[in-house]
Amino acid sequence: MTRLEVSLGLKYSTQAMVESVERSYGVVVNSFVELEPEYAELYRKNGRRAYYVGPLSLSTKDEAEKADRGKKFNPELEGLITWLDKEEENSAVYACFGSLNEFSADQLREIALGLEASGQLFVWAVRDINRQNEAEWLPEDFEERVKGKGVVIRGWAPQIAILNHRAGVGLK
């Protein structure tokens, strides 16, 4: 996959979002004007309605509740937090692109190869719908090669627990 192909994929995804915003009555923003005044001004200048309601956070001190929020049984999660507990502080990257982004098999393969080549510890959450064509996007023996350095989660991931973990570098 070339840079151009990656760029075009992101361009079309972004274009679809922009068109959706243009057709909408307004947008709800998980932020506040004082944090992002440039965006607030851009919406105002373009005559768009923006409702600032953030930052919203699913904050709780109860670790069990935090880990289980939205959880569906996923055998890949067994041992994840235990593995992170053994790692140094700020040593792991959480790679997650959300449920709205769709990547081609080639793009997912490049993400996998990039994570592997980085040498960085990682937790990579991949949308569950990508299971169907996994052989197309997951490099052969990938999980074996990154064992102890990376974890691939297919489907729901305990994002709050991962992001709040001392080993986590942050969302990418």
Q: What is the pLDDT of residues 109-141, one digit of tens each?
A: 999 999 999 999 999 999 876 667 888 899 999
Domain co-membership, 75 together with 140: yes
Domain co-membership, 85 together with 148: yes
Handedness of CA 122, 127, 131, 137 (dihedral sign): negative
Please report, for the domain that includes residue 72, its CATH number.
3.40.50.2000
pLDDT digits (tens, 9 = 90+) for 3-23: 656 566 667 778 888 888 888
Residues 6+ apart with CB under 8 A from 66: 58, 60, 158, 160, 161, 164
15 or 41: which leads in pLDDT? 41
pLDDT of residue 30: 85
pLDDT digits (tens, 9 = 90+) for 63-74: 555 555 555 556
Domain co-membership, 17 together with 42: yes
Domain co-membership, 45 together with 117: no
On the question of pLDDT at 108 being above 80, the answer is: yes
* Domain ranges, residue 1: 1-56
Question: Structurally, how many domains does the chain consist of?
Answer: 2
CA of 31: how far to CAs of 37, 52, 69, 172, in Å?
10, 6, 22, 18
Residue after which a domain boundary falls, among 56, 85, 100: 56
Mean pLDDT of 47-76: 66
Domain co-membership, 12 together with 32: yes
Residues 6+ apart with CB under 8 A from 153: 74, 76, 77, 80, 123, 124, 125, 126
- pTM beyond 0.85, yes or no: no
Residue after which a domain boundary falls, among 30, 56, 82: 56
Mean pLDDT of 20-49: 89
